[in-house]
Structure 1
Amino acid sequence: MIEIVNFQTNHAQAFKELNEAWIKQYFEIEESDRKMLNDPQGYILDKGGAILIAELSGKPIGTCALVKMEDRKFELAKMAVSPEARGQKIGWKIGLATIEKAKELGADTIYLETNSVLEPAINLYKKLGFQDAEGYCSPYARCNVQMEMKL
């Protein structure tokens, strides 16, 4: 059974490895990735964000973060599912849980950035309720799609 849990210190390596795997598959690791993946506590959690981990029998198989941007605006970031766990609706489950977590944190808007080559991810975001957005300044060279959801 898949369980969505809050990030604990012992999840740091899985958070990093799950995200590095998909980034390296399609792109290159950028400086902004390194900052977030090497220090999720300082970069995300200590600033008012959250990280959720999807576990199967206690093993981390997926993750998603909420990075606080402004008072009531959060970025959905670093969503990843391990290749062996894909096709089990884990992205959907962790996406819904992340939206609920954003509401708990008082968010009125969730923003995300992605790339047009990641069609399955874009389709998932649309099913979750995200819509196309523009005008945000991205720290990532790879991002050419911006989306947001008003809560």
Structure 2
Amino acid sequence: MENVTILEYSPEYAGDFKRLNIEWIEKYFVVEEHDIEQLNNPEEYIISKGGYILFAQYNNEIVGVCALIRTNDESFELAKMAVSSSVQGKQIGTTLGIATLNKAKAMGANHVWLESNRILEPAIHLYKKLGFVEIPIAETPYARADIKMEVWL
């Protein structure tokens, strides 16, 4: 998409990571303890464990974010995906999602999974468009999670 640049994590974007995620979580749910751990310490909980965080910059503003949390040598969890409500509908989520899956593949992953909630219909639609399919949900640290999806790369 024109005017959208995908950027990798840098400490200068840590505030955007937290801001964008708090915005959508508070709109629909309650921010949970596990959210705060990851949002306050992305380098410790995501980056240092072999994960990645990608950002979408649009018109020189950080408007989207998506994390890949390494779960093993061949799998990542897609997590903390958020796009500012001010730019939704501009395909930024799609651009960010494709870039995130490409990053996972480049890092040797053959599997990406996520947890979400069915009330987030636009997000579920995006995940399906990216190739994710629903699988049974197991134990999760999030009270809000009621759907699990995966894609094989």
Could you say whether these structures have the same fold, taking a TM-score greater than 0.5 normalized by the shorter chain as the test? yes
Aligned residue-pair number: 151
Where does structure 2 lack aligned partners over 5 or more consecutive residues? none
Moved over 6 A (4+): none
Other structure's SS at 1:125 match: helix
1:65 aligns with 2:58: no
Counterpart position of 2:39: 37
Other structure's SS at 1:14 match: helix
User: Structure 2 CA distance, aligned partners of 1:3 and 1:135?
Assistant: 33
Corresponding letter in the other structure for 1:130: F
Where does structure 1 lack aligned partners over 5 or more consecutive residues? none
2:7·2:57 contact (CA, 8 Å) conserved in 1?
Answer: yes
User: Structure 2 CA distance, aligned partners of 1:105 and 1:32?
Assistant: 25
> How far has the Cα of 1:70 moved from its partner?
1.5
1:51 aligns with 2:41: no
User: Structure 1 CA distance, aligned partners of 2:98 and 2:24?
Assistant: 21
The one of 122, 127, 132 aligned to 1:125: 127
TM-score normalized by the length of structure 2:
0.96
Counterpart position of 2:93: 91
Corresponding letter in the other structure for 1:113: E
Other structure's SS at 2:65 match: strand
Corresponding letter in the other structure for 1:28: V
The one of 80, 86, 105 aligned to 1:103: 105
